[in-house]
Amino acid sequence: MKLPTLRRRLLAAMFITSVTSLLLACGTLLFYELFATKRSMTHNLSTLAQAVAANSTALLAFNDQTRAQEILSALKSEPDVVNACLYDNSGHLFSSAPPGSPTNLFPGAPGPDGFQFSGYYLTVFQPVVQGGGRLGTLFIREDLHGMFARFGVYGAVVLLVMAGAAAVAFLISGILQRRISRPILDLAAVARQISEKGDFSVRAQNSATAEELAYLNKAFNDMLDQIHSRDLSLAQAREDLQKHAAMLETRVADRTHSLEETTRQLYDFCYSIAHDLKAPIRSQAGFARILIKDFAQQLGPEATGYAQRIADAADRQSRLVSDLLTHVSLGRHELPLESVDLAQIAEQVRADLRVEIERQQATLDLSGVHGIVMANPASLNLIVLNLISNALKFVPRSRSPQVRAWTERRDGHLRFWVEDNGIGISPEHFGKLFTMFQRLHTRDEYAGTGIGLAIVKRAAERMDGRVGLESEEGKGSRFWVEFAEYKVEK
Pick from 62-71, 108-117, 203-212: least confident? 203-212
pLDDT, residue 256, reads 75
Instruction: Give dist(CA 138, CA 199) in Å, integer.
Output: 91
| Helix (H) or strand (E) segment spanning residue 291 | helix 211-294
Q: What is the mean pLDDT of residues 435-450?
A: 50
Contact (Cβ atoms closer than 8 angstroms) between residue 159 and residue 144: no
Pick from 170-179, 281-290, 398-407: least confident? 170-179
pLDDT, residue 213, reads 60
> Is residue 338 pLDDT above 90, yes or no?
no
The pLDDT tens digits of the residues spanning 364-379 come to 999 999 999 988 887 8
Q: Which residue has the higher pLDDT, 387 or 195?
A: 387
Pick from 1-5, 145-149, 253-257, 484-488: least confident? 1-5
CATH 3.40.50.10540 corresponds to the domain 6-167: no
End-to-end Cα distance, the chain: 46
Instruction: Give dist(CA 54, CA 429) in Å, integer.
Output: 126
Q: What is the mean pLDDT of residues 272-300?
A: 71
Instruction: Give domain limits for the chain.
Output: 6-167, 335-484
Banded pLDDT at 167 (limits 50, 70, 90): confident
Of 82, 134, 138, 131, whose CA–CA distance to 105 is shortest? 82
Contact (Cβ atoms closer than 8 angstroms) between residue 127 and residue 86: no
> Is residue 456 pLDDT above 70, yes or no?
yes
Pick from 144-153, 237-246, 378-387, 427-436: least confident? 427-436
Q: What is the DSSP letter of 199?
A: -
Main-chain dihedrals φ then ψ at residue 114, nearest 5 degrees: 125, -175
Please, what CATH class does the domain formed by 335-484 belong to?
Answer: alpha beta
> Is residue 48 pLDDT above 80, yes or no?
yes
> Is residue 330 pLDDT above 70, yes or no?
no
Q: What is the mean pLDDT of residues 387-409?
A: 87
Q: Which residue has the higher pLDDT, 34 or 5?
A: 34
Mean pLDDT value across the chain: 78
How far CA 177 is from CA of 20, 182, 216, 220, in Å, comes to 18, 8, 17, 21
Q: What is the DSSP letter of 364?
A: E
Q: What is the mean pLDDT of residues 213-235?
A: 72
The pLDDT tens digits of the residues spanning 82-97 come to 899 999 888 888 888 8
